[in-house]
A and B are shown apart, each in its own frame.
Chain A
Amino acid sequence: MRVRLPSIQSATGTAVIAVTAAFVLYPVFYLLQASLDTGDPEARPPTAYGLDNFAALPRYWEIMLNTLLVAFGATVMALVFGFLTAWILNRTNVPFRRTLEQAMAIPYYVTPLLGALAWSLLGAPESGFVNQIWRAIGGQDAILDIISPLGIAWVMALFEGSVAFVMIGAVMQSMDPSLEEASQISGANRFYTMLKITLPLVTPGVLGAAIFVFAEMLGSFSAALVLGTPVRFYVITTAIYQLTAQYPPRIPLAAALGVSLFAVMFLMLFFYRRIISRRSYVTVSGKAFRPRLTDVGALRWVLFGICAVYVLLSVVLPVLTLVYASIQHLAVAFPAAANFTLDNYRAALSQNAVRFAMSNSLILGVATATIGVALTGMLSWLIHRSRIPGRGLLEYTVMFPQAVPRLVFAFGMMWAWLVFPIPIYGTLWLLLIAYLTVFLPLGVRTISSVLLQLDKSLEECGEVCGATWAYRMRTITMPLLRPGLLAAWMLLFIASVRELGASILLTGPHSQVLTPAIVSAWFGSSSELTAAMALIQTVVLGLAVALFTLITRRAARQGG
């Protein structure tokens, strides 16, 4: 059935599209302009145009290949971890489910630099704690070498890929278990059911997560910086970083490198749209269901073991390593009384960046998540539920910021908002706009995955009964979308607080945020101080997320 756009809907839709276009296409224009700039790279607007920057790209084929290989490896690992753990925690009666669920989300609170740093401290061939202990007990050379392409993919999958768990988990929470039960009643075993029923039903969620995670990996910076540079292994982001940080900066070439990733991203989005358009993934229809967990018997302890190992590798071991490193003058595996100190925490807490930037980060996190959920919720609805012309184009537009590493996209945003007549440059408002822009894909992917599971007929029933569009949204769509909306809020909040790429260039003197300060400590001070600062950020973020979880659970209980 064709959904007509009444006036309020039309007005809201038009406003959302206009805002999205302004947020995304305005900086993209400047980015494209820079990639075609062949004149004085520091002159604005460009003094000459040409394709020289793109012609130079084949020289970087090795770096591009490195990027694709690492991103692909990390995405596969992240999806396997994400799907398996999301299935275990959302669909089975695994013990300590809630505790594991909380622990599984921790890697996502952590600044990716922290994960890379922790694993570098653990697994560097010479100084890694694991290797030091190995040699102390008589082993030869190194038992673990994290300073390698595989190490980069591993760390990226653990810390940046943990978003896959949240995205796929949100889809699984909205799934009617009767389909799985029907399969089992028909004689299929649990794993056959998981593969043949659960997996196909969560395909949009998994594909959405795959696209998002792959793009995230293409733009990943910290793991490649910490674990790749020592072995002369570069990816696009580390190459771009060098090109923009050196003097004279080669921003047009960096822009061309970034823009070239559009092609990869849009190809993936094209296949995603093809797959989801072929069949229906509706699991939430007019028929009532209560999410039930599958009793897996004694196997639940094996599944618990899988989750526990994941939590050990992604949370416990890295966090303990960093705590241990942060209380030493010089981080080494074997304790020595003279080496212990609290100076790193003292130094971290005495920095203005930690004291004041944290509050800016939290304010921006709440604002980005709240406005972002409303904006991306509307966008998801427009893309998947409305019949507005060009809605496919809208989905491609939304993915632009994800396709380009933020280190480069930030230049587009800087040029764009510098010349904007309303003076927001250098203020928190600019960071808010920047965060809303770069996290549009995250919000849309998360909410869309859940929206695709909702049967359109639910809204249509409301319409037939005479409910207005706003009333239907409030009483039918929004409550059904609740898991997706909450997941999106949480993801946007966390992603904003730990954002780095855009913040480095766009912070003003009175709008500083924390993550750039942490990275600056890594570059300028020591890994021990960096560990202390990043742990402080993680604890504050963890407390904020716990508070949010508490409030939403209480609200859910009160709401019945």
Chain B
Amino acid sequence: MPKQNPEPRSRRFALKAGLAAAASLPFTRRSSAQDRPVTKVLDFTTSADIAKAEQEGALLFYTHDGEAGAAAAIDAFKQDFPKINAAYVRAQTGALYSKILAERSAGRYDVDVIQFSDTGTAIDFDKRGAFDTYISPETAAYDPQYLSNPPGRYFCSGMTFAGIAYNTDKVKPEDAPKSWKDLLDPKWTNVTSTKQSTSGMQFVEWYELRKLYGNDYWKTFAKLRPHGFDSRAQLFDRLAKGDDRMCALAEWAGYVLYKERKAPIAFVAPADGLPATALATGIVTKAPHPEAARLFIDWLTSLRGQAVYQNTPDLLYGSVRKDAPPMPGGVRLRDFKLLVPTDMDDFLASRKTFNTDWNSMLGLL
């Protein structure tokens, strides 16, 4: 039976719940510690039974990440724990979600840990009672808003955020937009790119900018006849080669990658803020290798795992750990003003409108 969570998921509520959880942390840790002693392995803490995890000998990770990114994360974990034969299956969030639900409804429980590209999918998955509860000792380094409510179901394993980017061969810096509203200038008609409705990041941008500037913002934006793509690689590939001059959803990670390749592009961080979305990772119920799953979650929440997520070229997710080191390029996540949805009920309820409006704007419907 899917578990229903009637609690509103506003940011204030999440914060309260988080503070309550934080206040009860000694108890949680003690109770956790009573059941599961916290030990140190390599350079991180874990409540997993490592001997049992190695006895289980396997781990299956479902992820929305690309092949190279998924392989890099799993390879790094395997290097640290060679006795655990970790493997992954990857697909885009929608297909991944359908796949795991179909498997579970058929009584197949092969997956240990799953990662979604946005919190909305994770909340839905949680409502179906599909996340197990495990509070990693490493989550003490996370602010409550980056943990599920109630905690232990999933955590934010990385953050992506986006600003504006332009091709410096085609656009002079003085002509480049400085704010989100500058993007609406008709001179950017037919030369602006954005993402498709498949992107959780695009949903966040639509939601946050609509909140800031009203629904007319996107109606005016639609007049630019933007080109929609599925991935940041496609967006930056076209921007770097001049096929598009302007990118309205320029993820920082994509910008760093292409800048390293000497692409003629520049990044603009509008003062009003940068839409950001959190990846959500958690252990699924009836995981066949529960101890290995716990160990993986501890590893991923730790500085060690976060370094892999933050520095691997095919991942480049900003870490939300309080003690996270700077990202490649020398900046920290907290250096940017991020726009994160706070009223999760309103955010999730608007998904249908977004899908319809966005598909229609890109000529898909």
Question: Chain A: residues with CB nearer than 8 A to chain B?
Answer: 42-44, 59-60, 63, 124-127, 229-234, 239, 242, 244-249, 251, 329-332, 338-339, 347, 351-353, 411, 414-415, 418-419, 425-426, 504-505, 507-510, 516-517, 520-527
Q: For A524, what are the chain B residues with a Cβ–Cβ distance below 8 Å?
A: 65-69, 231, 233, 314
Q: For B3, what are the chain A residues with a Cβ–Cβ distance below 8 Å?
A: none
Q: For B362, what are the chain A residues with a Cβ–Cβ distance below 8 Å?
A: 232
- How many pairs, one residue from A and one from B, have CB atoms within 8 Å of each other in the complex? 156
Given A338-B262, A523-B233, A523-B234, A247 contacting B120 (CB threshold 8 A): yes
Is the Cβ of A516 less than 8 Å from the Cβ of B67?
A: yes
Question: Chain B: residues with CB nearer than 8 A to chain A?
Answer: 60, 65-69, 71, 75, 87-95, 97-99, 101-103, 105-106, 108, 110, 118, 120-121, 124, 128, 196-198, 200, 225, 227-231, 233-234, 237-238, 240-243, 258, 261-263, 314, 351, 355, 359, 362-365
Pick the contact of A508: B89, B95, B225, B365 (CB < 8 A). B89
Q: Nearest Cβ distance between residue B83 and chain A, in whole angstroms?
A: 17
Q: For B238, what are the chain A residues with a Cβ–Cβ distance below 8 Å?
A: 127, 230
Is the Cβ of B99 less than 8 Å from the Cβ of A234?
A: no
Is the Cβ of B228 less than 8 Å from the Cβ of A351?
A: no
Q: Nearest Cβ distance between residue A123 and chain B, in whole angstroms?
A: 12
Whose C-beta in chain A lies nearest to the C-beta of B110?
Answer: A426
Is the Cβ of A329 less than 8 Å from the Cβ of B227?
A: no
CA distance A44 to B98 in the complex (A): 10
Given A248-B351, A525-B233, A526-B233, A505 contacting B95 (CB threshold 8 A): yes
Q: List 26 A-B contacts (CB under 8 A).
A: A42-B101, A43-B105, A60-B365, A230-B227, A231-B227, A242-B359, A245-B198, A246-B196, A246-B198, A247-B94, A247-B97, A247-B351, A248-B97, A248-B351, A329-B262, A330-B258, A332-B241, A414-B99, A415-B102, A418-B102, A504-B95, A505-B95, A510-B87, A516-B67, A524-B233, A525-B314
CA distance A426 to B88 in the complex (A): 12
Given A229-B227, A415-B102, A523-B230, A124 contacting B243 (CB threshold 8 A): yes
Is the Cβ of A234 less than 8 Å from the Cβ of B363?
A: yes
Q: Nearest Cβ distance between residue A115 and chain B, in whole angstroms?
A: 17
Q: Nearest Cβ distance between residue B145 and chain A, in whole angstroms?
A: 21
Pick the contact of A520: B67, B87, B120 (CB < 8 A). B67
Is the Cβ of A245 less than 8 Å from the Cβ of B89?
A: no
Is the Cβ of B355 less than 8 Å from the Cβ of A246?
A: yes
Pick the contact of B262: A124, A233, A330 (CB < 8 A). A330
Whose C-beta in chain A lies nearest to the C-beta of B59?
Answer: A509
Pick the contact of A517: B67, B128, B231 (CB < 8 A). B67
Whose C-beta in chain B lies nearest to the C-beta of A417?
Answer: B106
Is the Cβ of B198 less than 8 Å from the Cβ of A330?
A: no
Is the Cβ of B95 less than 8 Å from the Cβ of A244?
A: yes
Q: For B240, what are the chain A residues with a Cβ–Cβ distance below 8 Å?
A: 330
Is the Cβ of B234 less than 8 Å from the Cβ of A419?
A: no
Is the Cβ of A245 less than 8 Å from the Cβ of B241?
A: no
Q: Nearest Cβ distance between residue A353 and chain B, in whole angstroms?
A: 5
CA distance A437 to B364 in the complex (A): 31
CA distance A414 to B89 in the complex (A): 15
Whose C-beta in chain A lies nearest to the C-beta of B170?
Answer: A126
Q: Nearest Cβ distance between residue B78 and chain A, in whole angstroms?
A: 10
Is the Cβ of B91 less than 8 Å from the Cβ of A42?
A: no
Q: For B198, what are the chain A residues with a Cβ–Cβ distance below 8 Å?
A: 242, 245-247
Q: Nearest Cβ distance between residue B104 and chain A, in whole angstroms?
A: 9
